[in-house]
Amino acid sequence: MSAHAQAPAPLTARRSEKLSGRIRVPGDKSISHRAMILGLLTVGETRVEGLLEGEDVLRTADAARALGAMVERTGPGSWRVRGVGIGGLVEPRDVLDFGNAGTGSRLMMGVVAGHPVTATFDGDASLRKRPMRRILDPLVRMGAEIVSEAEGGRCPLTIRGARETIPITYETPVPSAQIKSAVLLAGLNAPGTTTVIEREASRDHTERMLRHFGAEVAVEPAGEHGRRVTLVGQPELRPAVVVVPADPSSAAFPLVAALIAPDSDLVLEGVMINPLRSGLLTTLVEMGADITFLDRREEGGEEVADLRIRAGALRGVDVPAARAPSMIDEYPVLAVAAAFASGDTRMRGLHELRVKESDRLAAVAAGLAAAGVDSTIEADDLIVHGTGGRVRGGGTAATHLDHRIAMAFLVMGLATEKPMKVDDGTMIATSFPTFVPLMRGLGADIA
């Protein structure tokens, strides 16, 4: 049964000291989704090692099957995809149900929009609230038709893909790898070049993986922080082996836990340190966190390192808005670290947090309040008033079907005076199904 169909399962975290051990968190979610999708679009056998076997990625695997691929698990984290190739999609017979997965659904909308097939996209109550116009607008310019959509451009929605996909040049209205990727994936089936311009660079896994499968992708700087990405359409993708590095967005939870739980000393193995994903590390180091990068190396085309983390005092900092795209999923757990720091932490430019799996700005502020921590929202900024280390706890964080809100407040409870409860832990399975047993193995009291 999928996570969102289950009854809520509350979890409680209690004060725990001396977290220690060496662990590897599961594979990166962004890369796992993309591996399934490019496998679908390649004729022949793509192999994936270290795939994140979380609910979200399994939904993308199901959608790839519905669109014609043969997808098979051959061992723990090892998967095989026999794709249909660009232009070869079959029309799905049923609704594509993406559950909680914004990335899977939005990237697959791009794939469908570029093919002459019709498909309906749907998901859970969280996905049904998320804005899809930002994806649909460029896809309509590329020749797709929106047959139906729920109010305000939401799921469930039906896309009739283009008969002849039009290559476009598109400037994304917000920094979003999902928008960029949807346009590039649609552009795979367009004659000529498709260009995406972003004012702030977002994660570049689609560009990297397209190249890995043999597509021609050029990336140039645009403006101070931006990029211009150009894809040559209708390439013949070649089957590839994708090795998925450990997800920095999942590593963030044990990492912050080790910083705030007294006397902890932990190693997280093989964490991806792609600069477009490592804003949290930059910020925590500025806060005075004791993090050592060991054995920097390359794995699966990405730079990775083993991270050694030792508990210690943190101080509040000012996090610039320009850093947001490189740590967009990490603000809930950064807010937890900030609650234990001395002084205020101001996180700037967080408007995109309002349209994640939940309104994370509101959910974080409410969870902090439940723990006895003051915070202020000023326009798009969140200011956490740090306690200098003593956080009362003793409350319940409402998770609103959001895995990262659940994990962030469980991490918090490992260092609060009284236990912290979250109202529902089931959604953790979407991105980090082994979170609770891995944390327990480090000495965390979560039940």
Rule CB under 6 A: which residues touch ligand S3P? 30, 103, 176-178, 181, 202-203, 328-329, 352
- Is residue 315 marked as binding? no
- Is residue 16 marked as binding? no
- Is residue 356 marked as binding? yes
Which residue lies nearer to ligand S3P by CB, 203 or 323? 203
Which residue lies nearer to ligand S3P by CB, 303 or 352? 352
Which residue lies nearer to ligand S3P by CB, 198 or 306? 198
Query: Considering 97, 306, 329, 424, which one is annotated as catalytic?
Result: 329
> What are the strands of the beta sheet with 226-232, ordered from one edge?
169-171, 193-198, 226-232, 217-222
- Is residue 29 marked as binding? yes
Tokens at 201, concatenated: 């660079």
- Is residue 228 marked as binding? no
- Is residue 404 marked as binding? yes
Q: Which residues, including other chains, have CB under 8 Å from residue 114's CB and lie 6 or more apart? A: 142, 144, 161, 162, 165, 185, 186, 187, 188, 189, 190
- Is residue 329 marked as binding? yes
CB of 313 to ligand S3P, least distance (A): 30
Q: Does the active-site annotation cover 329?
A: yes
> What are the strands of the beta sheet with 78-83, ordered from one edge?
70-75, 78-83, 44-49, 241-243
Which residue lies nearer to ligand S3P by CB, 261 or 324? 324
CB of 335 to ligand S3P, least distance (A): 16
CB of 363 to ligand S3P, least distance (A): 15
Judge contact between 384 and 361, C-beta under 8 A: no
CB of 402 to ligand S3P, least distance (A): 11
Q: Are strands 118-122 and 145-150 parallel, antiparallel or unpaired?
A: unpaired
CB of 334 to ligand S3P, least distance (A): 14
Closest-approach residue to ligand S3P (CB): 30
CB of 311 to ligand S3P, least distance (A): 28
Q: How many CB atoms lie within 10 A of CB 390?
A: 11
- Is residue 34 marked as binding? yes
What is the Cα–Cα distance from 229 to 170, expressed in whole angstroms? 10
Which residue lies nearer to ligand S3P by CB, 38 or 311? 38
Which residue lies nearer to ligand S3P by CB, 103 or 358? 103
Catalytic (active-site) positions: 329
Binding site, annotated residues for 3-phosphoshikimate: 29-30, 34, 176, 178, 329, 356
Binding site, annotated residues: 29-30, 34, 102, 130, 176, 178, 329, 356, 360, 404
Binding site, annotated residues for phosphoenolpyruvate: 29, 102, 130, 178, 360, 404
